[in-house]
Structures are given as C-alpha cells and as structure tokens.
Structure 1
Amino acid sequence: MAVAVVAVLAVLAAATALRLEYRGDPAAAGHSRGRDAVWLGHAWVDGRRTPADLEQLRAHLAGTGVHDLYVHAGPLEHDGSLDPALYPGAARMIAAMHQVLPGVRVQAWLGDTIAHAGKPGLHLSDPAVRDRVRASADRILDAGFQGVHLDLEPVAEGDSGFLAVLDSVHTLTAVRGVPLSVAVPQIDPLPGLHSVSHLPFSHPKWWSQGYFAQVAERCDQIAVMAYDTSMPTSSLFGGYVAQQTALALEATPAGTDLLMGLPGYHTEDMGHHGYAETVAAAIRGVRVSLARHDRNRQSFGMALYVDFHATESDWTAFRDGWGT
C-alpha cells in the first residue's frame, strides 16, 4: 500500500512540474529567427510530386521562417551505401524549389535503422560502414543537395561509432561548404533515465545531456525529435517539450543551430496521442522555455514533421505560433 501511495505521489509531482514548465509568456520569446525547417517525404525526389504540389508547399510556407527543407533521399542500405535509383528526380526538384521558393536550402535527408537488440541495421562500429556513409553523403551532394541531414535511429547513449561517423561526414560537408544536420532523440527528463529506457521501449529512448552536447559539437544543426512522448494531455506534452527545450538549450553550443521538432502527424498509439501532441502545444512549450532560458538566442528554430501528414490546421498553427 505504501509503495502504491509513493508511486501515485511521484506521478502527481511529475505532472505538476510539467504543467509549471508550460506556464509563462510565449510572446517574450519573439518570433521566428528564419532558421526553421520542414521534413519532406520521398515523393519529392522520385517523380510523384507535381508543380501543383510545389505551389501548395509555397502557400504552406508563406509567412513562416522555414529556411531548410529536409527532403527524404534515402534510405541508406545497412552497409552504409546509397542507391542512386532512389532519387532520380532530385536535380529537377531542387531546381524547381529554388525557382518557386527562392532562398530555401534543400538538404538530403538520409536515414536508416541502427542495428540493435538483434535486429538488422547499420553497424557504425565498423569503419567500412562509416566510410560508405560518408561516400553516400558525398554522392548525394553531387546530385545538387545543399546539405546532409542524418536521421539514424536508434542511437544508444555514448555510441562512439555515431560520433565517429559525424566527425567523418562533417569534415566532408565543411570542405564542400554545406551544413551537416542531425535528427536526435530527447534528453533524459530525469538523470540516468537513458540507462533503463530499453526496458519498456526495447530500444534506446533518451540520451544524457552530456552525450547530446558531444553530438551538437559535431554538426551545424541539431533537430530534437520532441514527440512520441506518450503524454496524455496537451498541457503535459507542452510542459515536457518546454523541459526538453531547456535541456537542449543548455547543451547546444551557440555556433550550432538548435531546432525543436514539432509533431505534424496524427497517429494514435501508446507512444503518441495525436489529440495531446499538437503543433500548437509544442510551439507554446518551446516559446515559453526559450523566453525563460535564452530569449536572445538567434541560432534557434523549429522543424515540422512531416509534410505528407501535416494538416491545414498544423500549417496554420506553425505559421501563427512561430511565423515571421
């Protein structure tokens, strides 16, 4: 009985803390710094998208601070290579985007699964795999992309192979004068939580703030996937996002752009409740935290995931909550 009471009190205390994080004046954070982003699906590079789709994207982005488009050009093979047949329309798409959306930067979103729990995937401890990931990044830049956005999941806390591949690819992108951007998981909401996250989730869920900082030092942009939180209400979700924003602000160097990811999708499962995880709640949480902790930071933005699931309401919330 006593254990149950303690557990209930702990849950209530955590919920109260998150709701307090959500309180404050979001307006004090100001507006978009013009460093925002959107994840775009593979249809943009395989020929399925049309000029009408691009015009619709232009309308959605009007009034936002979106500068970077993360266009899915993968996935990588498990050996780190990339099949050129995956992006036959890339050059044409990039040219059209620059014509319709002058000033945007079109990055190649390259992802794959990391081998874990006996499941197949990338083995980043293998230098040959890391070399092929770098070669794939080099090849995708030859196709006309203006940056590399890596989304490799799930990366375990302290994974030295991941740091090594970031060092390798970042050396390449620096020479070529384009950014390396990285999508990353959330930071421990409680100290040491990453060490037990594999028990309920069967895969790494969080990173320590220290490991997050090591990753942030190795890239030009770091985008926190601040969704799939299991939070049951918008206020708890917004408070959680506010907490994540504060932790990420502390760990991200001023020279690296920090972007907080927004949930522009509406699946319903144990990890994501679409009625609670809304774009509006996330933006409020981010802005309240930014105002509280680092309101003058310019190397900051938000990133909407993902174009092919986002509704008109999501785009409107993005524009109204964090526009120019």
Structure 2
Amino acid sequence: MTWWKRLLNSVRRIAAALLTLGAVAWVAYQLWHPGMVITDGRHDRQTNGIWLAHGWLGADSWFIEHGKQAEMPRYRDPDNVKALAEKLRRHGVTDVFPHLCPTSYKGELAPVSPMHVEAFLDAFDGFRVIPWVGGVKGVSVRMTDPAWRKTFAASIAKFMADHPRLAGVQVNVEPLPSGTPEFLLLLEEVRAAMPVGKVLSVAAYPPPTRWHPFPEIHWEESYFREVSRRCDQMVVMMYDAGQDLGKPYQHLMRDWTREVLQWSEGSRVLLGVPAYDDTGVGYHHPRVENIENALQGIHRGLGDTGLLPVYQGIAIYSEWEMTDDEWEQLRRGFLKQ
C-alpha cells in the first residue's frame, strides 16, 4: 500500500470517529432536559414582582430632560394607571418596582411628581409599591463617601414620610462586586433611617458560574448571606449571563434557583426572569435568555428544593418590554389559572 493510500485511510478513520462523536454529542444534547415544563401553576404563589418604567412616578422634568414629552399622556392618564394595575393583578403580581434611578451626585433620590405618586398609589391599592433606587457604582452611587450614604438614607426616609403608603424601597447598584463592604454599610444606614415596617429590598446578583466569569456581577455565598441579613427581600437578577444556547441557560437557572433559595438568611426571594430585547450585546441573547427558558429552569430548580419558606415567586424585567406573546407564555408556563 502506497503512503498516500495509508494517509487516506487514516484520514477516513479520523473523520469517521469525529462524525461518531458528533452524533453521540448531538443525541446526548437532545436527550438532556435541564428544564421542566409545568403548566398547573404549582410554583405560583401569586406574590410575584415586576420592574416598571420611570415615567409612572418621575417628575415632569424627567420627560423634558430625556425628550420624552410625547410619552407623558401614557403615564399621566388615570385610566392607563388603573389599566396597568388591573393587568398586573390578573397576572399574580403584588410587588411593583417603579424606576427612580439614578440618584444625584450628592445622594438625593431622583425627583418625583408628588401628585402622580399619590394617584399611582390610589390605583395600586393592595399592591406593595417599592420604588427602585440607586444607580451606577462610582458615578451616581458613591458608597465609599459617608456623606453620600447619609444623604441617600435621609432622602429615602423623607420620601417614605412624604408618601407613607409606599411599602419600601429597592436598592440597586450596578455593577457591584462580591464582598463590597460599603454596600453592607449602606444597607445598615438605610435600614436605620426607614420607618419601622417598611420593606428594604435589594436587586441582588446571582451566584458565580464558570460559564460567565465576571465577578463584578456575581455574588459569592458568604456575601449573598451578608446582604440577605440586612434586608427583607432579595430580587435576584438571573440574566445577562451571556449564554448562547437555551438548555445551558435553563441549567444555569436551575442551579441559581437552588442556590439563592438555600443561601437566603430569611429574606424573601424573588427570582428575576428576563423579558427584554438587548440585541447586539455580548451579555444577553434574547432568543436564549427569555421567559420560556428561564421558567423551565426555575421549575426544575424548585422541583429539586421544594417551595422553601423564603421563596416568594418570580420578578419580571421588565413591564415596558413585555409583549402579548410573553404575557401568554407567563400565563401558560407559570401562573395559576
């Protein structure tokens, strides 16, 4: 046999082996079911959350500053506010997080329209209205500055006093590396300034994973527990994980669901699910990170852990990105009917 025939045979054997391995891997992937489809509503406690847009509470100056004057009627019309409340009520939402970021350089909360805050609270009677405050670490949020922290806490206390029907606030700082000590101080100071009985919620980060090695947006167990000890609610942002395939994302959601529920030190946990379309960025692929895949992973994780007492439900990011199809996916794949 000539040398070139021997080489050809070797190439054929290698190609056959690679094809066999590829076929085995494909079959294994098809048989792998990291998520779970559940349609009977068993995991819905009807105490879910959702993030809302700035316009519902924000001052008129916000619309002018951002060139959104044409959108004011959508947010200011009482019928629209009531319609939103009814829609969310039908979908098992009890906690709403209207956007009020960023804070000022000094630590003051973003300005609101007091009249429209009260109108919103009228329409959302029976909900817990927990405005979402904070901003970008090192820009609008300067936690290392004691004066900034003091002003931030005092601004929250005044906001609560001006609108006592507010249920609390949610603190969101992005990014926020695991182990940041100033954030723990901030939570302690906010807690001390808030009226008794108000909810201190945190937009929390998911556990580390080898599939997304960015420590500034993942929290180690020890730090997750420290934050949990200082607040009433952890709303975990379980997205922006840069996953390219649906099943690995379902698996990640399963793991994160189990971990964050087991790591809570008694604070209630909402599992954040993505409903937005940030196309063209490396950290989020909407065809993968979406409500359908997220819910399947969460269902599998809850099937593993059971409904622990700290489990409150899911939180949708965000209302202003939700489509009719996504509301239908939520109804079919999670809600009690």
Structure-1-length-normalised TM-score: 0.81
Residue 233 of structure 1 deviates from its aligned partner by 2.0
- In the aligned structure 2, how far is the partner of 1:25 from the partner of 1:316? 15
Partner of 1:260: 271
Partner of 2:185: 164
Contact kept? 2:43, 2:307, Cα under 8 Å: no
Partner of 1:250: 262
Q: Which has the larger radius of gyration?
A: 2
Gaps of 5+ in 1: 1-12, 199-203
Is residue 291 of structure 1 aligned with residue 312 of structure 2?
A: no
Residue 28 of structure 1 deviates from its aligned partner by 9.2
Is residue 70 of structure 1 aligned with residue 97 of structure 2?
A: yes
Deviation readout 1:213-257 (Å, 9 max, x if unpaired): 11111111101111111111222212111111111112112x311
Contact kept? 1:33, 1:300, Cα under 8 Å: yes
Amino acid at match of 1:260: L
Structure 2 SS opposite 1:79: coil
Contact kept? 1:73, 1:87, Cα under 8 Å: no
Of 145, 158, 162 in structure 2, the residue corresponding to residue 143 of structure 1 is: 162
- In the aligned structure 1, how far is the partner of 2:91 from the partner of 2:202? 22
| CA RMSD, Structure 1 to Structure 2 (Å) | 2.7
Identity %: 26
- Per mean C-alpha deviation after superposition, the further-off stretch among 222-231 and 140-149 is 140-149
- In the aligned structure 2, how far is the partner of 1:22 from the partner of 1:52? 43
Amino acid at match of 2:294: A
Partner of 2:241: 229
Residue 23 of structure 1 deviates from its aligned partner by 4.0
Alignment of 1:202-213 (within 5 A): 204-213=216-225
Alignment of 1:1-324 (within 5 A): 22-24=34-36, 26=38, 30-46=42-58, 48=72, 49=75, 50-85=77-112, 89-98=116-125, 103-115=126-138, 120-144=139-163, 145-173=166-194, 175-190=195-210, 197=214, 204-253=216-265, 255-268=266-279, 269-297=281-309, 299-324=311-336
Residue 162 of structure 1 deviates from its aligned partner by 0.1
Contact kept? 1:187, 1:206, Cα under 8 Å: yes
Contact kept? 2:43, 2:302, Cα under 8 Å: no
Residue 299 of structure 1 deviates from its aligned partner by 3.5
Gaps of 5+ in 2: 1-24, 61-71
Deviation readout 1:51-87 (Å, 9 max, x if unpaired): 3423442453244321111111232113211243566
Residue 271 of structure 1 deviates from its aligned partner by 0.8
Count how many residue pairs are aligned between Structure 1 and Structure 2.
Answer: 293
- In the aligned structure 2, how far is the partner of 1:158 from the partner of 1:123? 16
Q: 1:127 to 1:233 in 2, by over 3 A?
A: same
Structure 2 SS opposite 1:166: helix
- In the aligned structure 2, how far is the partner of 1:188 from the partner of 1:296? 22
- In the aligned structure 2, how far is the partner of 1:77 from the partner of 1:279? 33
- In the aligned structure 1, how far is the partner of 2:51 from the partner of 2:112? 21
Contact kept? 2:35, 2:254, Cα under 8 Å: no
